[in-house]
Amino acid sequence: MPLTDYAVRCTTRECPREASFKVASQWSDGLTAELKTYALCCYECVPARFAEAQGKQAACSLSPGETLAPPEVFALTSHGPQRVADPADSV
Ligand SMILES: [Zn+2]
């Protein structure tokens, strides 16, 4: 199956750039774990979206047994999201 190149638009309102990062938290209910995505955004929008995600993560009410890690920044790559310590490293 050929890899299709598709552009994901930054989710910031009125931002015309392509999303190359994902802001997400590792969520788990003890049985399954998944990435809870807050935003897909371009490099310029990472700081704003990340701050927003931190607020959402803090405000998130969890059921007993559920865990939600602090938000992290992931670079969108053809191999899937890769965690990045500093978005500036992956541009
Ligand atoms: Zn943007």
Provide the pLDDT confidence category of residue 1 given band limits of 50, 70 and 90.
Answer: very low
Distance between CA atoms of residues 33 and 30, nearest Å: 7
Asked if residue 91 is part of any domain, the answer here is: no
Q: Which residues surround ligand 1, an ion (CB under 5 A)?
A: 10, 12, 15, 17, 41-42, 45
- Report how far ligand 1's centroid is from the alpha carbon of 51 (Å): 14
Asked if residue 65 is part of any domain, the answer here is: yes
| Total count of domains within the chain | 1
Query: Looking at this protein, which amino acid is placed at residue 2?
Result: P
Distance between CA atoms of residues 85 and 9, nearest Å: 22
Question: What does the pLDDT look like over 52-90, one tens digit per residue?
Answer: 999 999 999 999 999 999 999 999 988 888 998 777 776
Asked if residue 3 is part of any domain, the answer here is: no
Query: Looking at this protein, which amino acid is placed at residue 88?
Result: A
Report whether 22 contacts 40 (CB < 8 A): yes
Tell me which residue range forms the domain holding 22.
8-76
Task: Please state the pTM of the whole predicted model.
Answer: 0.84
Higher pLDDT, 39 or 7: 39
Asked if residue 47 is part of any domain, the answer here is: yes
